Every structure is written in C-alpha cells, then in structure tokens.
C-alpha cells in the first residue's frame, strides 16, 4: 500500500500543543526528522486573527515538509480556517479527532467530537471541501476490546476523503498513559485501503519495534517520547549504529534549542516558555532535583548561561552507576 504523503517506514513528529513550534521542530530535524507538524491550531482562534495562533503558522525556510493540524467542530469556522491556511504553504492539513485535553473536550472538539461521528464527519468534510492540500485525520480508538466502532468510524473518514489516518491506541480518558491497544490499530489497518499511522507510547527502539510488529503498520507517529529527546529520530533510523548523546552533545542541543526560542520569541517570553523544555532535556538523565528546580528562576540569558555550565558538569555519579545496570534505557546519555 502506498501513499503520496508518507512512504513506508515513515517516522512522523506529532502536532504537540504547546511544544512543536519552529524551534522544537528544528531541533528534531537536526536529528533526522523529516515529517513534522505545527502545534495543534484552534480554528476559531485562527479565524479571529489571534496573534499567538498566527505565529504557529511560521515555517522555517529549511522545512521541506510541514503539516498543519486543525481542531474545531463548527463547520463554518473550519471552512474559514481552511481558506486562511490555503494562503500559506503546507504539505497536508490534519484534522484533530483525538485530543483529550479538558479545554478541548469541554468545547466538544478533538476526541470528544469523535464520539459524535455524524458531526465529526461533517466537520471533516468542511475542511476537505475547501482545502487545496491533502487532508488527513488523527483520532483514537473508541473501545479497548471491540474494534468495530473504531473500524466503522475510520472507514467513514476514508470514504469522506481522508488520505491517511493516524490512530492513537488508547482511549481518550486514558490520555497518554497505560497500555496501547495495538490489536485495535491492527484491526483498523486491515479494514482500510488508505495507510494507517500507528501512534502511542513510542519512547525508544523497543517500543517502536513493538508497535510496528503488533499493529502491522510500518508508519508511526512520535509524540511525547521526543520531548527533550530529539535523538529518538536518529535511533529509530539506524539503531545498530546509534550512539546516545554525550553530556556535551546534550548540552549543545539544549542550548541551541533555547537560543532558537530566544530568537523566535524574544528573551523574556522565551525564558518563561523554555522552562518545560529544559526540564524535558534533563529528565531521567541523572541531574539533581536542585538543579532542575532552579529552572523556575531563569530570568535572563545570563541566568541561562550559569545554568548551562551546571548542565555541562554532567549528572551525578549515581546516574552512571545506575546506567551500568540499565544499558538500554530510552533516554540514556554518555560521559
């Protein structure tokens, strides 16, 4: 089965709300990411010209493939949002039918809209009708034991013109934790003519191989596993020759990422926004709780330079001892 959108073995960076801005994407691209998305974009905010939302549309000149993802439920608003997107250059428009966040669910959008399939299909069709780009959909399984509801919904999306469907193998109520029901993904894939992208819980080569094997899908989407770990793309592309980053390489990438944010957002805003990014890079890599807590007090580029000097000193000795017994840890680093 072929698709003009994603080739076999494609590894795709998910649209991550609050994360996949241009600096985040460029970090991932430095380590082999080709297929990436903007942050999830609220159709209403786009239509009303929200300045923050319009910034999400910024595309780096070196990004040869970039998708945009819309979330919404009102047909007229989605149509207008699609017409705005048509003025830009994107590789695909993806419709979000999987986001479980309360702020999205309370508006009846994302995963909540997927529970109302007739409305979801009308919303999807409103994008398909107006878009000059290919249109895809991202959703979640609807039942953990019975594949039938998810198969039915995905087949309706296919009939409405979805060129690819990405399926997260967890129920919306489980957010991002717990088992990924790959057997449901597999059953849906077997019932579609279009490609299905498997999504959920990929944090390293072991979970990547598992979801591919159990779902039967060679195309996968990475999400939270990339946060603070852009090297995941390099590992999945060539696991036999992959070398985890050294302390110095970790620090260099983190510094580049944050400097890109400062350039993109300005110093004050970037140093507020970057705290969660820094915590992601230092998570699970043996850095002290005291150092990580100090992220809250970063107020200037000078503060960040002092912080980075500590990062370059490396993690605790205890981490290196722990690593001797956990040589396959997903987020490992080297001295």
Question: Phi, psi at residue 41, to the nearest 5°?
Answer: -115, 125
33 counts as catalytic = no
- H helices then E strands: how many in the chain? 16, 8
Tokens 């469907």, residue located: 165
CB 14 within 8 A of CB 221: yes
Q: Report d(CA 46, CA 85) in Å as an integer.
A: 9
Q: Report d(CA 37, CA 49) in Å as an integer.
A: 20
Strand ranges (DSSP E) for 24-108?
A: 36-42, 66-71, 92-97
Q: Are strands 196-199 and 135-140 parallel, antiparallel or unpaired?
A: unpaired
For 178, how many CA atoms within 13 A lie in the half-sphere containing its CB?
10
Considering the candidates 33, 99, 154, 274, report the single residue annotated as catalytic. 99
Q: Could you tell me if residue 163 is left (phi over 0), alpha (psi between -120 and 50 degrees) or otherwise beta? A: alpha
CB 233 within 8 A of CB 28: yes
C-alpha distances (whole Å) from 1 to each of 4, 219, 297 are 10, 11, 52
> Edge-to-edge strands of the sheet including 36-42?
11-13, 220-222, 196-199, 165-168, 135-140, 92-97, 66-71, 36-42
Q: Catalytic site residues? A: 99
């Amino acid at each position: 089965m072929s698709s003009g959108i994603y080739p076999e073995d494609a590894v795709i960076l998910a649209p991550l709300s609050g994360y996949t801005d241009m600096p985040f994407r460029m970090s991932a691209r430095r380590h082999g990411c080709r297929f990436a998305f903007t942050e999830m974009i609220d159709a209403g905010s786009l239509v009303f010209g929200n300045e923050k939302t319009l910034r999400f549309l910024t595309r780096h000149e070196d990004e040869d493939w970039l998708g945009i993802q819309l979330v919404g439920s009102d047909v007229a608003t989605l149509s207008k949002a699609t017409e705005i997107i048509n003025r830009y250059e994107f590789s695909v428009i993806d419709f979000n039918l999987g986001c479980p966040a309360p702020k999205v669910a309370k508006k009846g959008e994302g995963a909540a809209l997927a529970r109302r399939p007739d409305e979801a299909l009308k919303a999807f069709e409103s994008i398909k009708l107006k878009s000059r780009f290919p249109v895809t959909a991202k959703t979640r399984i609807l039942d953990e034991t019975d594949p039938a509801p998810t198969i039915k919904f995905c087949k309706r999306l296919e009939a409405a013109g979805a060129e690819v469907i990405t399926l997260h193998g967890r129920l919306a109520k489980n957010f991002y934790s717990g088992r990924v029901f790959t057997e449901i993904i597999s059953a849906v894939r077997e019932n579609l003519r279009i490609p299905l992208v498997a999504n959920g819980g990929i944090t390293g080569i072991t979970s990547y191989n598992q979801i591919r094997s159990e779902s039967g899908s060679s195309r996968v989407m990475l999400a939270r596993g990339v946060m603070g770990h852009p090297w995941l793309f390099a590992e999945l592309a060539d696991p036999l020759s992959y070398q985890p980053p050294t302390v110095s390489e970790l620090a260099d990438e983190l510094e580049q990422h944050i400097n890109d944010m400062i350039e993109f957002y300005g110093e004050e805003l970037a140093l507020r926004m970057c705290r969660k990014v820094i915590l992601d890079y230092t998570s699970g890599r043996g850095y002290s709780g005291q150092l990580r807590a100090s992220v809250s007090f970063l107020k200037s580029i000078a503060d960040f330079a002092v912080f980075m000097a500590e990062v370059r000193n490396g993690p605790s000795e205890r981490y290196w001892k722990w690593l001797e017994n956990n040589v396959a840890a997903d987020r490992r680093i080297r001295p």
